[in-house]
Structure 1
């Protein structure tokens, strides 16, 4: 690395506000409120906030729309005929990133009503265009069109369009353009394919080409007649041979969401990197990195020869598959036959922040998995002197950035010279769905537009939001509940405001309950927890409004249905273990149903045939806590609730959908492809963790190096299950015995879910009520992560190993049913710190010094499976695993009913 371009903040002052901000207190997260403005926006891209609070935004398929906060509605401004597809030389058609990419208001919009749009016009000419129009608040005046700039492109292969725009204080317009290069045929490395006919796969035609507008940030000065002039100080002067004077920065792959620091005038942006997740320094070069960049002056940012902090690629011959030398940041040479510009390029400048698919040692807060850097605004307090909800001075001079795939917002702090100082998460519980643009509005709010999960489709999660800051009095946080939400009349209910709180200490709160029946006013209460008796059948809504002493108020409503008592259902185990199953063993059970209006099973007014009793075996990914607490039904989606939760929390939905192709193949297509392939599970687990490509074309599967084998296996099993019809539950009688036989070929560490449900007949004109009771018999395995309490014990990173670090250590497992359990096995491990040569582990009940019911004896220092025979049955109890010696490492406990 020859140079490190580091921006410097506050150089006009002897004292740095960035330094001062370290002494400011970080605002409480409860002072920020997410407000959803518009939902179900189809493929939103860039937006602009007007002074009156309206938000103008572009949608990729050509619509320009505006959100009006006065009405809460979105209206159409214009529709542009756009090109969104690529047509290969062989005629193959594929969806790409092109379309309507950006919109911006002229700095003098209030006077001239000019707006600029950047898009890929439909038609045979491959180009993107920057156009100017007049807009007076309703429909766009299409007859005022001025074509400002054309950017010639190729439309045979995807991707990278750029399209972000902004103005500086001199009214110069900045426009980002992508390298317009197909990079997925480059194995995740840099696309330098110089073979004839492969220019679409050679980024040297654009990014490192001084005579081409692609892969750049352009800076022009729009003129009143629709033309533009060249500002002084761009990378190449006017009239320099083999250069374009519009270029401000070059060596960009896909610069994303530009911003300018209003104090320094420096330019900031995110840079989307390629897809590789592994280094291959000897043959190709570094893995992929996304970047956050700063330009204090024009420059070359290195792509496609360098990435991150100027990590160099090798000159690679795609024809002979041979590798050349590493590129030199100080002496970049573009000798591609596709280059029409100068050969000797300006020195390459490094990113200030860079991160790959795996965990970053330099910037650990950025996370892991798929990544797609999106720049954001530099917050300057002086821009919001009269704003209603200006963010506090703690954030003054800091850079808000986000990531399309990972969904966080991070705040980067720089020192007085512009060097990286620190990073912190903004709102730890906030998870965005495909954030694509982010900026502060005139009242100080942070606006974000979310594209949703998945590419090239109308995502239901797509929305426009703003995040408001309340630096003064905060509204009360209201929780309303009722002791009963349904029942027979007369129905006595206790209303409760428990959980309601006000974050401003000392505020006196006033409570008001307004109750309606079937929409009409019924009763009003001013107590925080009133009691009422509902004498007539109907649907009641009790709305609690809490007002603080300043008049700030908030409300919540609870619904109560009176007139029909829900049935009572119980599933009782008469003999056998109530928590665990032992393969091939039986339990005896009985189901009881009682309903105030319908009768009961016992008096035969409810027939056994009217009660649904079933059993199902769920082999993977079932969330036992969710079943026990929420009593969810055991349908096919519940079977893989854990896997679905993992997918929703990870980046899987960015590239995959269940039944439709996105950037990657549909899950059902993956399942069909590998149906019956015994090697598929292990291969797919490795691919999820390590990444890969080549099976479904050139699309690169990003690595997930921090995902555990167990989590990857859970996701894999869920996906592969889609090749088979869902297994129906086995119907059972209301009373009898059930033998826990694991279906052939299934994982033996799953769960049996026994369910009893009854839907009553309704009463007093009220609809029927359903009650179900679920009994979960899980495999007799306790993972160390399930311990409800531990002393002098820690867990490893993936929470599969307990590490004993001191004396008098223990693990507590709450409410474990030991009925029929004869012995317990565990695995003692040898780690970096060897296990004790002779160690004793005790099994006690009720407390760490409670009744001793078994003992493990560790002999030797090797990994070993050891067994402790239990002295006597203990029923349900708190189980303590007590360690008399350290150091020691253990894995899961397995219970057995064998003698």
Structure 2
């Protein structure tokens, strides 16, 4: 029977094929097929699979009747709004009134690999969430004879697949007939964002094109990567550290290559710097830049076998970063009930004729999760939001693939969502939508479900998005703030005072921003939350009455809390459980041998069972920020003899601090 089809059609039954490759040995064709969003029940969630397909010969690949492993869609009657029978993949029939070709189709071919929005039972490595499957090249070593960067024989005959949304690459192993056997991550250590094309170069290296975070945008994290495989001697890794890279002329900069490294331990390294037309040897370099402008500095690192690598940094001369200072007569590390923060922000910039108030941002916020504040203070935002936890959850999710902060991507911007729902009570509705998915509000593109996302996390994310529509209160450069946000909250909260200034740029150098912040934390320091130390920690369990504390406290052990202010602290209150032989807690500044500002003698335990007791120690007046070393001392104790246990220390202020 003559087929009613055009001879140039090799396969049919595709939905949205993307990134097609051909096996150079056997002519097999591979492609990714981006799937639909449906609510049709299927083997893995719903029939919304993305596919990796393999065509060994011309054929029909199922769509729109079948998906994945030939799972069938029901026939839907739009007049009655009822589902009809499913087709037989062995004998599919195209009865469309628009069909002018073959009605009895060839048997449907299943996909090689398929996965939906949820976790995959067949292929757990592919992950979950949104998807955009793509097929890459098939590798054969003899295609790259004498190529310096060809992959090892381990990858012989493997087909490379990748996913734009989920940001992974897999090497897929096939048997001698081309059937799927296994898959494994490839280049998972690289920090690429949204791989969209992958090709082998003639020299065996791999070129990887990464699209970047946002759709239809000039993404700063887009990139073209060249990946070289090295056998035998490995290239060194060049690294530049500079004490400063921007400032007014003349600008003296110290460079160091000390962080450069070579993974071959027998190699020795040589260093060469190029500044302008001049070169300098050595691991360290100090150079004075006298001319205004942008000056590239190139470092070349060469190993003892002649392999080399380079890296560069730009030094920008002509604009000095502004100076921002936050001054306060109050303690700048802790808060107490019924206290205030009097502050004054001073800003200086040598190039700006006057400090522009419009370029100044000052904010003050209470955060309920002060222990994890470090991640909130990164980035370039001028506001610290009470919804920073929701922001962190959003940044770590696949939602970034479709939603940007200010510009429309495939989905609406976060700011547009906030404005649309401003003044409405939609928190629960949008939380459910994040978990279950949906479509139709902003366009035809469906939002992927997140069934495994805890409701509390989804609610934090939605709260953060909705908060973007709130008006941000701008504070004056000096004033007084009442600390009431912590009342009724847990002890983990913290206040963040943030001051930022962006200058106007100068001498062709772009505008520069300087930020300073104060973090006011709860005055009760749990000893196990120290920044560093050499003691042991007991985790809270039922056997400890759910109390965590430090132990293995021997003579000359210590714990450290970094950069805290003792201004206005009158005494320390410790919660301690004595052991025999007891000892002394010394509070010293900046080192275990630093200035002594407080001391407490802990008596040895008696014959009765030790109990937790609170003990007080006076503090000498102390100004400024210091690393606080709590040093535990008893030179008479036997080695490895525990002196006592410590649960917490409370910073008790003078009356003027707590009631001002």
SS of equivalent to 2:418: helix
| Shift, 1:750, TM fit | 7.1
Q: Name the counterpart of 1:140.
A: none
- Answering whether residue 449 of structure 2 is matched by residue 703 of structure 1, we say yes
Q: Deviations over 1:77-130 (max 9, x none)?
A: xxxxxxxxxxxxxxxxxxxxxxxxxxxxxxxxxxxxxxxxxxxxxxxxxxxxxx
| Shift, 1:780, TM fit | 9.6
Alpha-carbon contact 1:616-1:729 (below 8 Å) kept: no
Give the counterpart of 1:731 among 476, 493, 498: 476
- Answering whether residue 235 of structure 2 is matched by residue 475 of structure 1, we say yes
Q: Name the counterpart of 2:127.
A: 367
Unaligned runs of 5+ in 1: 1-236, 599-605, 790-806, 812-834, 856-867, 880-892
SS of equivalent to 1:397: coil
Q: Name the counterpart of 1:694.
A: 440
Between 380-389 and 321-330, the greater mean CA deviation after superposition: 321-330
Alpha-carbon contact 1:759-1:771 (below 8 Å) kept: yes
- Answering whether residue 373 of structure 2 is matched by residue 624 of structure 1, we say yes
Q: Name the counterpart of 1:777.
A: 520
Cα distance change, pair 407–769 in 1 and its aligned pair in 2 (3 A): closer
Q: How many residues align?
A: 567
Alpha-carbon contact 2:388-2:464 (below 8 Å) kept: no
Matches within 5 A, 1:524-535: 525-529=280-284, 532=286
Cα distance change, pair 748–687 in 1 and its aligned pair in 2 (3 A): farther
Alpha-carbon contact 2:346-2:477 (below 8 Å) kept: no
Q: Name the counterpart of 2:464.
A: 718
Give the counterpart of 1:844 among 549, 552, 556: 549
Report the Cα distance in structure 2 between the residues aligned to 1:624 and 1:512, rounded to whole angstroms: 40
Cα distance change, pair 331–387 in 1 and its aligned pair in 2 (3 A): same
Report the Cα distance in structure 1 between the residues aligned to 2:70 and 2:319, rounded to whole angstroms: 72
Report the Cα distance in structure 2 between the residues aligned to 1:773 and 1:316, rounded to whole angstroms: 61
> RMSD of the TM alignment (CA)?
5.3
Report the Cα distance in structure 1 between the residues aligned to 2:208 and 2:366, rounded to whole angstroms: 40
Q: Name the counterpart of 1:552.
A: 308
Unaligned runs of 5+ in 2: 559-572, 578-610, 620-626, 631-647, 653-657
Matches within 5 A, 1:262-341: 262-276=24-38, 279-280=40-41, 286-341=46-101
Q: Name the counterpart of 1:655.
A: 402
Alpha-carbon contact 1:410-1:425 (below 8 Å) kept: yes
- Answering whether residue 483 of structure 2 is matched by residue 740 of structure 1, we say yes
Report the Cα distance in structure 1 between the residues aligned to 2:345 and 2:216, rounded to whole angstroms: 52
Alpha-carbon contact 2:300-2:308 (below 8 Å) kept: no
Report the Cα distance in structure 1 between the residues aligned to 2:397 and 2:108, rounded to whole angstroms: 34
SS of equivalent to 1:730: coil
Q: Name the counterpart of 1:853.
A: 575
Give the counterpart of 2:114 among 354, 365, 380: 354
| Shift, 1:637, TM fit | 8.1
Q: Deviations over 1:238-285 (max 9, x none)?
A: x33x44444433322222222222223322221111023x55369x99
Output the TM-score relative to the length of structure 2: 0.69
Report the Cα distance in structure 1 between the residues aligned to 2:296 and 2:428, rounded to whole angstroms: 53
Q: Name the counterpart of 1:255.
A: 17
Report the Cα distance in structure 1 between the residues aligned to 2:500 and 2:210, rounded to whole angstroms: 41
Q: Name the counterpart of 1:755.
A: 498
Q: Name the counterpart of 2:567.
A: none
Report the Cα distance in structure 2 between the residues aligned to 1:661 and 1:671, rounded to whole angstroms: 13
| Shift, 1:399, TM fit | 0.9
Alpha-carbon contact 2:51-2:114 (below 8 Å) kept: yes
Q: Name the counterpart of 2:592.
A: none
| Shift, 1:398, TM fit | 0.8
| Shift, 1:423, TM fit | 1.6
Cα distance change, pair 391–593 in 1 and its aligned pair in 2 (3 A): same
| Shift, 1:509, TM fit | 1.0
Matches within 5 A, 1:301-700: 301-455=61-215, 464-471=224-231, 473-483=233-243, 495-514=255-274, 525-529=280-284, 532=286, 543-549=298-304, 550=306, 552-557=308-313, 559=315, 569=325, 574-575=330-331, 578=333, 585-588=338-341, 614-617=362-365, 624-626=373-375, 635-636=382-383, 647=394, 649-678=396-425, 680-700=426-446
| Shift, 1:445, TM fit | 2.8
Q: Name the counterpart of 1:193.
A: none
Alpha-carbon contact 2:523-2:651 (below 8 Å) kept: yes
Alpha-carbon contact 1:484-1:560 (below 8 Å) kept: no
Report the Cα distance in structure 2 between the residues aligned to 1:673 and 1:590, rounded to whole angstroms: 37
Between 389-398 and 770-779, the greater mean CA deviation after superposition: 770-779
Q: Deviations over 1:828-880 (max 9, x none)?
A: xxxxxxx96x772224247689998389xxxxxxxxxxxx999468999899x
Output the TM-score relative to the length of structure 1: 0.52
Alpha-carbon contact 1:285-1:313 (below 8 Å) kept: no
